[in-house]
Structure 1
Amino acid sequence: MKNLIAILMVFLSMTVFAQVEKIEPPFWWAGMQHSEVQLMLYGKDIAQYEVAFSNTIQITDVVKTENPNYLFVTINTKNVATGTYELQFLKDKKIVGKQSYDLKTRRDNSAARKGFDSSDLIYLLMPDRFANGNSDNDSTDDTIEEVNRAELSGRHGGDIQGIINHLDYLDELGVTALWSTPLLEDNEPILSYHTYAQSDYYKIDPRYGSNDDYKRLASEMHERDMKLIMDYVTNHWGSKHWMIQDLPTKDWIHYWDSGEDGFQRSSYRMTTQFDSNASEADKEACMNGWFDTTMPDINQSNPLVLNYLIQNAIWWVEFADLDGFRVDTYSYNDKEGIAKWTKAIMDEYPNFNIAGEVWMHNQAQMAYWQKDSKIGAIDNYNSHLPTVMDFTLHDALIVMFSEHEQGWDKGMLRAYENFANDFLYPDINNILVFAGNHDTNRINDIYKADLNTYKMIMTMVATVRGIPQVYYGDELGTGGNKDLKGDGDIRHDFPGGWKGDQINAFTAEGRTPGQTAFFEFSKKIFNWRKSNSAIHIGKTMQFVPENNVFVYFRYTDDERVMVVINNNPETQTLKLNRFKEMITSHKSGRDIISEQQISLENTLLVAGKTAMIIEF
């Protein structure tokens, strides 16, 4: 009887372990450079236990916080073989619970994976608004907001399967890399389609699919020689994140004594991050302020937080076989913390790529954030960030094509002056170039869906230095103005992504004549771009615009391309002798757009509001 009671007591004590709800990361891989892994264990009063591994894996550190529901256990996996290992939970030196933990086998050459670069063309889409491939997951039992396609700012039902179903469309268009806005769970009661207020960093939102669906998306893309870029959010989490509901430490997020529930909105003054004259109060107001009421600001200066984010990012690269990150609101993070995060990922994957959103309007200020910046070196700062986004070029693109006459700083001079500052960037090919994204008014709304203007804009985006990114639907002439109708208006459903759509723009026969004109032009230059090394890695020579005509060349030792953009409504005659240092002895070239042979001997006639891409 005594032995039976003892066995029963052990059994009952082991059931306490069933209260353990999460272990993150849920598994790891053998042979990683990041071999010291900090396991976050969560469960009711889990901190009462001591922990040990039954064999091989060494525990090097255990951290208990003020919240007894957490244990942070650091293990050393260096030289540990692939396999399943037993994590033991002890009370009074007796084992009261066990949990298996897996070290998996990495893909061959995983560490050497090649990220996106200037040979790629990135297509940005919002998964909720692209295509509904599985209507069964439009609403789920474990998420709050339900599908409501009639609501402009509601969930519409797009998902990962919808993306997979239309990869052939992207391939036909000339896309080589896909950036999807975040797919991790966002369980906010409203506006959750946006997915930037995430509630679980190890879980794809079930309304988009599963973790395995995301892995399958990467696999399907790789079969087509396409790359997958994950939109990663380091600066803030969602208010419904399960850890926000039960914080491991109070300083996991930034609290403000002056705000309600610790909230104070960021000042958004990113210049305070490097302003040598800035007050500490202003620096804090930008960096530690919340991005929005539903987005608590994460404290990357807390080592537990930073390690959690580093491991989570590496886990997703390894699990889903990713080719890059785009990092949301990069310059709002703790600047030292985000630099360590970026370096840790690039150390694990030296050929990977990460693009940071640095939404500023001055090239020197943007260049500060790029890896090995001489500007950043002034205050001994290196972000280790390979790619920054060219917001100053975007600023020019959305206004200069309405300026039909050239002034001292108007019209095509805006583009020229932008590129004149390229010397500020340490790696000019690692600049993300775009005319619009999910946060900006659509270019085809700004320019009233004028095809000639679109051609000039996309010609520039596709041929200047850097990595071009296009926004879903722009290739169809899609409009949208968030200033008039809210963000939902710039995030329309892709026509044909839902059963019953009257127009199916995924197919040639389903497009309207207007959509066809935009699509066919985009398809032509995007596919041409794929094989031109002068556009990928060539140098640039630009000529000061005259009469609102901008001429620049991209060139290597073996290839040369002349780009002409006439933003003047009138036909212009160019005297080609002005460009002889680039034309040299070439007598003719082929215009990729018109498919005509062009004489380069004396003059060149360029129709008003016309772009030319002349390949020698």
Structure 2
Amino acid sequence: MKNQHFFVIFIIASFYFSLSYSQVEKIEPPFWWSNMHHQELQLMCYGKDISKYDVEIDGVTITETTKTENPNYIFITINTKDITSSNIVIDFKNQGKVVTSREYEFKDRKANSKYRKGFDSSDVIYLLMPDRFSDGNSKKHSRSDIAEKEDRTNPAGRHGGDIQGIINHLDYIKDLGATALWSTPLLEDNEPEYSYHTYAQSDLYNIDPRYGSNEEYKKLAQELHKLDMKLIMDYITNHWGSKHWMIKDLPTKDWIHQWPEGFKRSNYRMTTQFDNHASQIDAKGCMNGWFDVSMPDINQNNPLVLQYIIQNAIWWIEYADLDGLRVDTYSYNDKEAIAQWTKAIMEEYPNFNIVGEVWMHDQAQIAYWQKDSKVGAIGNFNSHLPSVMDFTLYNTVTTMFNENDDVWDKGMIRAYNNFANDFLYPDINNILIFAGNHDTNRINEVYQSNIDKYKMIMTLILTTRGIPQIYYGDEIGMLGNRDKSGDGDIRRDFPGGWEEDEQNAFLPSSVKKGRTNSQEAFHTFTKKVLNWRKQSQAIHRGKLLQYIPFHNVYVYFRYTEEKSVMVIINNNKNDQTIDVSRFTEGVKTFTKGLDILTGTTIDTTKDFQVSSQTSMILELQ
């Protein structure tokens, strides 16, 4: 009898021991919404040894339960068609008895959320790095388990910029004339060093506490919307960080791309994605190789992984009320899987916009990745990706303004030739154009602070087809050379973003310790063109008519049926005469042009001069 009592006590103790150490630690997504377009929802449940349990949800149809080789995971797929905003109860059972339960919330979806309007060619995007822009909350608390602390003396370290700092200076960005904000990633990155760029993420559902909180990110979107501005999230599908909690306890071995030697760096040869002659080993080396040692390569071919990142992106769009996504290293993903990811998001939000980073140097190769590409169609591939980044124009911009002479294949002919290849793109107005970003040498470094060249560059970027993006600090002439001084040099702190800064470039030169005269000159020009651009339908929606450059002078028109803008960029060292008779097709019956840069009116019925290395933007009247 004594042994029987001991056995009963042992069984009860074992039950409570298993109860204590088999609880559900995480369910992701942490909550969801009713009335979504996609009705199947995959819940990732995590906890020690929870795969021993069966799962039931009263009144909800479970379409699939997946248990992996790791006993700490259960993936539950449910049908949400008839679920209204409410809390459902997920029961985890052992031999028919409930061991533990978790409530799961479905929220009301925002009215017309499905039809949100994404960024487009009427916008100008302001790109910033939050760690380097402004510290708005110096008293914020980092969790004790966050590895890297702030150190402004280290160019590659955390400097303390945060979401509140961005919010504090939205009026500055608005006043400049930008209409959308792209911040490099804000999700948690818990690498022990070089974590400030936040591209090695350790938690896909939480903002890094050094930047703030999820609620503060939502507030950022709200404050932007109050100013009639848009928020674009930098999203990463290709890789996670080595410190991500799931990487430390993989659901399946093939959740990431594994290599016998452990770490294998990508060969970065994205041409293998469409090269008919590419070897399999080279293609695998690009797509399955890791982007860096701290960035394990995610296997989107695993259906659990693919559904996880689809839902995560949708969750952030819905939760934070986003207006767009910029997808990092888009063309390194498995192309069929990333196409499914993109298609799923665009089905949920048909008026949304997503731009993919396709860092290639040939228009056909970039155009391959845009939705409904004629190039991709040759191989029966459609990425469903609305927008791509125009890296060939970037290459052109960083070269041609140092080529002042009238040469057959140099100077402004490079711009003409770049746009001559626009026939490759299915949607030329939905292409992101830029003169620099967080991965390139500063444009004012390239041209050694030459404001005349800056003005010509920005005239082109802000008036040609596509969606312009400017990089924070370029508008005040900031410098930086990654080739000589590393990435930290092109990602310097914006002056005035920290209380201890001696100078505040957020303020005009008329204010004590405000912008210097040199900074003011860059800022004034940028502000003038950006704010004019806001109301120019010819620039937003117009067609492009370009003329072959003569004497290193490039002339083009942006026009609709009612409006026309004539742009002249004289990259010659000498003044040049514009022969109006050559441009009759563009000038049409307009007789005057208001130069928005100088405020002067030009008679377009007779020849006129353009000063050396200057530009003109003429609103034809």
Q: TM-score, normalised by structure 1?
A: 0.97
* TM-superposed deviation, 1:280: 1.1
**How has the CA–CA distance of structure 1 residues 31 and 17 changed in structure 2, closer, same or farther, with 3 Å as cutoff?**
farther
Q: Which amino acid aligns with 1:188?
A: E
Unaligned runs of 5+ in 2: none
Match of residue 372 from structure 1: 372
* TM-superposed deviation, 1:16: 3.0
Match of residue 414 from structure 2: 414
SS state of the match for residue 281, structure 1? Answer: helix
Alignment of 1:358-437 (within 5 A): 358-437=358-437
Counterpart contact for 1:442–1:480, Cα < 8 Å? yes
SS state of the match for residue 20, structure 1? Answer: coil
Match of residue 131 from structure 2: 128
Match of residue 180 from structure 1: 183
* TM-superposed deviation, 1:140: 3.6
* TM-superposed deviation, 1:9: 6.9
Counterpart contact for 2:372–2:384, Cα < 8 Å? yes
Alignment of 1:18-37 (within 5 A): 19-37=23-41
Match of residue 606 from structure 1: 610
Counterpart contact for 2:152–2:158, Cα < 8 Å? yes
Counterpart contact for 1:453–1:609, Cα < 8 Å? yes
Residues 235-288 of structure 1 show CA distances to partners (whole Å, capped at 9, x for unaligned) of 00001011000000000011112x2xx211111110110011111111111111
How many Å separate the matches in 1 of 2:14 and 2:191?
41
Counterpart contact for 1:140–1:146, Cα < 8 Å? no
How many Å separate the matches in 2 of 1:93 and 1:20?
18
Match of residue 524 from structure 1: 528
How many Å separate the matches in 1 of 2:40 and 2:15?
33
* TM-superposed deviation, 1:309: 0.4
Counterpart contact for 1:14–1:97, Cα < 8 Å? no
Q: Which amino acid aligns with 2:30?
A: P
- Given candidates 37, 44, 49, the residue that maps to 2:48 is 44
Q: Which amino acid aligns with 1:523?
A: K
How many Å separate the matches in 1 of 2:611 and 2:342?
47
Match of residue 239 from structure 1: 242
- Given candidates 138, 152, 155, the residue that maps to 1:152 is 155
Residues 469-526 of structure 1 show CA distances to partners (whole Å, capped at 9, x for unaligned) of 0000000000000001000000000010000211101111211111111111100000
Counterpart contact for 1:138–1:147, Cα < 8 Å? no
Counterpart contact for 2:575–2:610, Cα < 8 Å? yes
Residues 398-455 of structure 1 show CA distances to partners (whole Å, capped at 9, x for unaligned) of 0100001131110001000000000000001110000000000000001011111110
**Which runs of 4 or more aligned residues in structure 1 lie more than 6 Å from their structure 2 counterparts after TM superposition?**
4-11
Match of residue 255 from structure 2: 252
Deviates more, 1:585-594 or 1:541-550: 585-594
Alignment of 1:137-536 (within 5 A): 137=140, 139-257=142-260, 259=261, 262-508=262-508, 509=511, 510-536=514-540
Q: Which amino acid aligns with 2:146?
A: T
Counterpart contact for 2:50–2:73, Cα < 8 Å? yes
Match of residue 554 from structure 2: 550
Residues 540-586 of structure 1 show CA distances to partners (whole Å, capped at 9, x for unaligned) of 00000000000000000011000000001110011110000111222
How many Å separate the matches in 2 of 1:467 and 1:110?
23
**How has the CA–CA distance of structure 1 residues 16 and 59 changed in structure 2, closer, same or farther, with 3 Å as cutoff?**
farther
How many Å separate the matches in 2 of 1:514 and 1:142?
44
Q: Which amino acid aligns with 2:72?
A: N
How many Å separate the matches in 2 of 1:290 and 1:332?
10
Counterpart contact for 2:267–2:285, Cα < 8 Å? yes
How many Å separate the matches in 1 of 2:588 and 2:88?
68
- Given candidates 79, 87, 92, the residue that maps to 1:89 is 92
Residues 83-136 of structure 1 show CA distances to partners (whole Å, capped at 9, x for unaligned) of 011110100100111100000001110000000000000000000000000112
How many Å separate the matches in 2 of 1:103 and 1:389?
36
Unaligned runs of 5+ in 1: none
SS state of the match for residue 316, structure 2? Answer: helix
SS state of the match for residue 595, structure 1? Answer: coil
SS state of the match for residue 503, structure 1? Answer: coil
Q: Which amino acid aligns with 2:48?
A: K
* TM-superposed deviation, 1:12: 3.0
Counterpart contact for 2:119–2:353, Cα < 8 Å? yes
* TM-superposed deviation, 1:59: 1.1
Structure 1 position 66 matched with structure 2 position 69: yes
How many Å separate the matches in 2 of 1:80 and 1:16?
31
SS state of the match for residue 196, structure 1? Answer: coil
How many Å separate the matches in 1 of 2:218 and 2:140?
18
What's the Cα RMSD here? 1.6
* TM-superposed deviation, 1:35: 1.6
Counterpart contact for 2:273–2:335, Cα < 8 Å? yes
Counterpart contact for 2:358–2:389, Cα < 8 Å? yes
Deviates more, 1:130-139 or 1:90-99: 130-139
How many Å separate the matches in 2 of 1:16 and 1:374?
58
Q: Which amino acid aligns with 2:332?
A: Y
Q: TM-score, normalised by structure 2?
A: 0.96
How many Å separate the matches in 2 of 1:582 and 1:444?
32
Counterpart contact for 1:13–1:96, Cα < 8 Å? no
Match of residue 565 from structure 1: 569
How many Å separate the matches in 2 of 1:18 and 1:85?
21
Counting matched residue pairs gives 610
Q: Identity over the aligned pairs, expressed in percent?
A: 64
Counterpart contact for 1:17–1:96, Cα < 8 Å? no
How many Å separate the matches in 1 of 2:219 and 2:337?
32
- Given candidates 573, 581, 584, the residue that maps to 2:585 is 581
SS state of the match for residue 136, structure 1? Answer: coil
How many Å separate the matches in 2 of 1:459 and 1:304?
47
